[in-house]
Copies of this chain bind each other. A is one copy, B any other.
Amino acid sequence: MKTVKIGLLGLGNVGGGTYQILTENKEIIEKRTGLTPEVVKILQRSRGKKRLVEVPDNLLTEDPDDIIKNPDIDIVVEMIGGIEPATSFMVQAMKEGKHVVSANKAAIAANYRLLTNTAKENGVEFLFEASVAGGIPVLTAIQNPLQANNFVEVMGILNGTTNYILTKMTEEGLPYDEVLKDAQAKGFAEADPTADVEGIDAANKLSILIALCFGKHIDPTAIPTVGITGVGADDIKAAAESGKKIKLIGKASLRDGMVEYMVAPTLLDEKHPLAGVSNEFNAVYITGDMVGELMFYGRGAGPLPTGSAVCGDILKIMKEKF
């Protein structure tokens, strides 16, 4: 069976999950693609860090060029996070003729045109299903089976941390600070929760959804963004009394040919399909001119759900290019 050689940039949550899936589900992947995926090199810069998965020492490197410039590697998977050096690594890898898969919403939202153009110029695939809503295959849906639609609106619960906090505030009547501390203790929120609670992470994901639905790149810093730090227990109580729920929503709509967009805490009627999306779950609600309303629901984060989306992209490249 022919082998497709893969290099991983990063071995954190997503990198670990991806490695685990490629290893544990090798048999079903071989059966479905007729090819063997083989991870031949992994960039891990902080060797001392506790790892989620066991990886043979000889696969690890601290030099990104061992992957990016490695003539043996077919697919480079970028899971470092952050805008740089991730963007430069991806651009270099594409210029070396490698297909690139990324889970990195910050880098893609900031450099969408550069990355997609570099892929085109070098005749390689650039796929990033994992960058929005983790394991939920919403980008594939937009880019393939829904392509005969003009998109009218895309809105979603795009950040699991803030949805977990708002759910606990709603169900248990607790104040924001207390729930945040609990979420941090349980690993649902980071020590520095700024990117999540201020809506920055959701704005990155919305920027990518806008690019795919409406063919326009809006820099995420240009998206009007309000986080959840100003949402009080009183607001949630008042909402409930009028049959509504408060959710952090990223939303983009087409109005008179213009795309309007924002990220903000939003009142949703309790009957709206997004109102029932609780805890750390994500969901994306899309309206197309022909298909009408659709919702995609699932786990927006976590090593295995996100790794599932990364591996889906890897398998797509394996099937189409090898």
Contact = CB atoms under 8 A, between A and B. Distances in A.
Interface of A: 17, 21-22, 25, 28-29, 32-33, 129, 135-137, 140-141, 144-150, 273, 276, 288-299, 302, 304-305, 307-309, 311-316, 320
Given A29-B148, A144-B316, A291-B309, 6 more contacts: A135-B290, A141-B141, A144-B144, A148-B308, A273-B297, A295-B296
A43 B38 CA distance: 49
A145 B149 contact: no
A273 to B, nearest CB: 6
A150 B291 contact: no
B144 A140 contact: yes
B298 A298 contact: no
A38 to B, nearest CB: 15
20 contacts: A21-B148, A22-B148, A25-B148, A25-B149, A28-B150, A29-B147, A33-B147, A135-B292, A135-B294, A140-B140, A145-B316, A147-B315, A273-B276, A290-B304, A290-B307, A291-B304, A291-B305, A292-B302, A294-B296, A295-B295
Nearest to A277: B273
Contacts of A145: 129, 137, 140, 308-309, 312-313, 316
Most chain B beta-carbon contacts within 10 A, residue among A32, A140, A308: A308
Contacts of A22: 148
Contact of A308 (B28, B129, B149, B295): B149
A137 B136 CA distance: 12
Nearest to A285: B297
B312 A21 contact: no
A315 B142 CA distance: 12
Given A298-B292, A304-B290, A315 B29 contact: no
